[in-house]
Amino acid sequence: MKKITGILTLAMALTLASVFPVPAAEESHEGHDQSSHEAATGQEVTEKTEHGKTDHGKTESDGNIMHEAHTDGHHFSYELIDMREKMKDMPGMKDTHHLMVFVKDTDGKALEGAKVGYFIKGPDGAEQKKMAMGMGGGYGADVNLGTAGKYSIKTKVMAGDMKIMNDFEYEVK
């Protein structure tokens, strides 16, 4: 059963990878005054948006922006894709969402060839460790956010000898 689940998860990830367009090197940040403040000051200011789709000129994926931050000179943009409807016919699949992170340097260039992992602690205390796959200019993994409440999400990015950590809380209603 685990082998079938693994194969189905891999197939879904590969399918999603073909859906995500490669993001443009530059994108508009209209309506994101905090981003320019963060870039200028180097201070981390988090922004949780619940306005739906990305309102940038070009979208990076089909997900909703759930969090943006600056850490160690890199811009992190997280997007969340609700997979429950697509996965309802796949018995045994416990993951409910696909979590993507797009990491860009100060020049707006996407970080490529990195190893990215998520550590998620749910409102019920359940913990998940997920390795993300590179896809569409970002890194994504299937996660379980099926319980309402606050989740602690920690991201670790390893690129060469550089290690960047980013963490935030996200509430599922």
Sequence spans of domains, the chain: 2-23+33-172
Select the more confidently predicted residue: 167 or 39: 167
pLDDT digits (tens, 9 = 90+) for 41-80: 333 433 333 333 333 333 345 568 999 999 999 999 999 9
What fold characterizes domain 2-23+33-172?
Immunoglobulin-like (2.60.40)
pLDDT digits (tens, 9 = 90+) for 10-35: 445 544 444 444 443 333 333 333 44
Is it the case that residue 88 has pLDDT exceeding 50?
Answer: yes
State how far the Cα of 143 lies from the Cα of 48, in Å rounded to an integer.
19
Percentage of the chain exceeding pLDDT 70: 64
Number of residues that this document lists for the chain: 173
State how far the Cα of 66 lies from the Cα of 83, in Å rounded to an integer.
15
Averaged over 80-97, what is the pLDDT? Answer: 87
pTM above 0.95? no
User: Are the beta carbons of 157 and 132 closer than 8 angstroms?
Assistant: no
State how far the Cα of 28 lies from the Cα of 31, in Å rounded to an integer.
9
State how far the Cα of 49 lies from the Cα of 141, in Å rounded to an integer.
21
